Amino acid sequence: MLNIACGCYIMKAMILTEPGKIELKDVERPRVGDDEVLVKIKAASICGTDIHLFNGKWKLFTHVF
């Protein structure tokens, strides 16, 4: 959706605003460079680690995947 006021495109995003609280917000769609792509997400899922992050229990991962 084009926002006439800012001349930018708007998209929906789920934002973690504080531990235990996620809000659906309108945000400016990222602008991509010549060597970048913007991927449209149709579905997403979470894993057990995401629940810890949602609850505010941040952990620094020190290993490389």
**What does the pLDDT look like over 3-43, one tens digit per residue?**
777 778 889 999 999 999 999 999 999 989 999 999 988 99
Q: What is the DSSP string of 38-57?
A: -PPPS-----HHHHHHHTT-
User: For a pLDDT cut of 70, what percent of the chain falls above it?
Assistant: 89
d(CA 33, CA 43): 25
Q: Where are the domains of the chain?
A: 2-54
pLDDT higher than threshold 70 for residue 64: no
